Amino acid sequence: MKRIEGGVTAARGFQAAAAAAGIKYRDRDDMAMIYSAFPCQAAGVFTSNVVQAAPVRWDREIVRQSKTNGSVRAVVVNAGIANACTGEDGRRACRETAEAAAEALSIGADQVLLASTGVIGAYLPLEKLANGVKLLTSRLSDTADASLSASRAIMTTDTVNKEIAAECTLGGKTCRIGAISKGVGMIEPNMCTMLCFVTTDAAVSADMLDKALRFAVADSYNMISVDGDMSTNDSLLILANGQAGNPLITEEDEDYRVFAETLREMLIEQAKKHAADGEGATALFETRVLHADSAEHARVLAKSVVNSMLTKAAIFGHDANGGRILCALGYAGVSFDPEQVDLTIESAAGKVPLYRAGAKLDYDEEEATRVLSEKTVTAVCDMHAGDAEATAWGCDLSYDYVKINADYRS
C-alpha cells in the first residue's frame, strides 16, 4: 500500500466540510458533509444489531437503490445524537435532513446518505440540522484541511481524529482512496466501529465495490473490539466516482485484486487506530492466532481473547496473566486441544513465551512486565492444529473506561 497525505478529499472529485450546528456539543463542529461532484457507485456494511438507528435503515435503502443507477452524491453526518430508538420521529429526521441536503446541493434526496453517532434515545433537533446542512454546503472544499475538519467534527469520545489515504495503479491510471472514521466505544467485532466513510476516484462497478468492501472489512473493522457492545449505528460507506479514468472494474481481475488489497490494508491501519484509541485505553492489544484448523476458528479465537474483560484488565496492569488468555480461548466456542497451545507475549521491548503445550513455563515476571509496558502489546497463540491464522485488535480496560461510560450522557 502506498500511503499518501490526506483523507476523503484525496480522491479526485470529492469535497468535504464541517460545521458547528449546536446539536449537542458547544464550541465545536458537530456536523460533516462529504460531497462528490460526480455520481458515485456506493456500497456499505452496517451493524447487525436488531435495533438499528434510523440513518442505518435509510442508508440500506439508498445503497440498495444505487445498485441500479450509481447516483449517490453526498453523505451528511452528525455527532452527539445517534437517532436510534427514536421511532417515527427518527425516520422523519432522516427524511428532512436528506431533503435539506438535496435542496442545498441541487440533487435528489435519494442521492444522500446519512449517519449519526452519539446518545441513543435522544431526538435530533430538526431546525438545527437543516441550518447545519446549509452551512456545510457553503463550506465544501476539496482541500486536505476540509477532510481534516470533517474527521474532527464526527468524533464523540475519540481522543484523536482518524484519516487515511492511499494510492494504487489500476489499468495504468493512478487511483486514490481516502477515508475518515470515528468510534472508540460500543465497539464489537461483528461489523464494526461506529462510522467510517471511504471515497475513491477509481471506476468500480457496484457489485465489485461491494465485494471489495466486504473483503476488506473482514480482516479490519470486523477484527477490532473495545467493549463487546455492538452499536445500533455502525456504518461503513464507500463512494466511487470513477474520476481516475481507469478501465471500469467489473470482474475479479488483477485490477480488482490491487484495489481490494489496497482497501484492505488501508482499513486495517484505520481500524487499529480505533482500537488503540478505545475508551480509556492505555495500550493497543493485538492477538494473533496461528495454526488454527480454519480461518473462521482463528478469527473467533482471536476475538475472544481481545474481548476478555479479565485479560483486558491484566493488560492494563502489565500483568502477564497468560492463564486468562488460555481461558478466553477455551470459552470461544471452538474445539481444540488445550495441551497443544503455545502462548507468547511480544512488544517492542521483546518476547516472552508464557505457556508451552498448555502448561505454564518458568519465565521471568519482570521481563514479562517490561514487555507488557509498551503502547502496543501482542499475544501470539499457536494452536498447532492447522494452517489458518487471524489477528484481532482491542485495548486494555482502565479506570477511565468506567469513568467515561458511567457518566457519558451528562
Residues 323-382 that bind a second copy (CB under 8 A): 323-324, 326-332, 334-336, 338-339, 354-355, 357-360
CA 93 to chain centre: 25
Cβ contacts of residue 81 below 8 Å, gap of 6+? 23, 24, 116, 118, 119, 122, 123, 124
Indicate the residue among 376 and 405 with the shorter CB distance to a second copy. Answer: 405
Distance, CA of 328 to CA of 201 (rounded, Å):
43
Which region, judged by CB under 8 A, interacts with a second copy, from 137-145, 184-192, 196-204, 253-261?
Answer: 184-192
Q: How many CB atoms lie within 10 A of CB 54?
A: 27
> Interface mask (CB under 8 A) for a second copy, residues 232-251, using x and -?
x-------------------
Indicate the residue among 105 and 298 with the shorter CB distance to a second copy. Answer: 298
Which region, judged by CB under 8 A, interacts with a second copy, from 12-20, 67-75, 379-387, 400-408?
Answer: 400-408
What three-state secondary structure class fits 91?
Answer: helix
Sign of torsion over alpha carbons 163, 136, 37, 66: positive
Rounded to 5 degrees, what are φ and ψ at 42?
-135, 150
The residues facing 343 across adjacent strands are: 355, 381
Which region, judged by CB under 8 A, interacts with a second copy, from 144-152, 222-230, 243-251, 257-265?
Answer: 222-230
- Vertex 57 angle, CA 393 and 252, to 5°: 60
How many residues at the interface with a second copy, by CB under 8 A?
Answer: 72
Binding of residue 144 to a second copy (CB under 8 A): no
Cell of 371: 514487555
Among 30, 142, 188, 389, binds a second copy (CB under 8 A): 188
Per CB under 8 A, contacts with a second copy among 52-91 are: 52, 82, 84-89
Among 42, 122, 196, 266, binds a second copy (CB under 8 A): 122
Closest distance to a second copy from the beta carbon of 51 (Å): 3
Rounded to 5 degrees, what are φ and ψ at 80?
120, -40
The residues facing 41 across adjacent strands are: 240
Indicate the residue among 248 and 404 with the shorter CB distance to a second copy. Answer: 404
Among 23, 74, 177, 186, binds a second copy (CB under 8 A): 186
For cell 479514468, the residue is 245
Residue 343 has, within 13 A of its CA and on its CB side, a CA count of 27
Distance, CA of 161 to CA of 29 (rounded, Å):
13
Per CB under 8 A, contacts with a second copy among 264-323 are: 307-311, 313-314, 316-317, 319, 321-323
Give the total residue count for the chain.
410
- The answer to whether residue 193 is catalytic is yes
Per CB under 8 A, contacts with a second copy among 26-55 are: 48-52
**Percent helix, strand and coil across the chain, each rounded to 5?**
35, 30, 35
Sign of torsion over alpha carbons 96, 102, 108, 114: negative
Which region, judged by CB under 8 A, interacts with a second copy, from 22-30, 113-121, 238-246, 258-266?
Answer: 113-121
The residues facing 381 across adjacent strands are: 289, 343
Indicate the residue among 84 and 198 with the shorter CB distance to a second copy. Answer: 84
The residue annotated as part of the active site, out of 193, 199, 287, 378, is 193
Indicate the residue among 146 and 155 with the shorter CB distance to a second copy. Answer: 155
Indicate the residue among 94 and 165 with the shorter CB distance to a second copy. Answer: 94
Among 117, 147, 199, 231, binds a second copy (CB under 8 A): 231
Indicate the residue among 68 and 335 with the shorter CB distance to a second copy. Answer: 335
DSSP structural state of residue 110: G
Catalytic center residues: 193
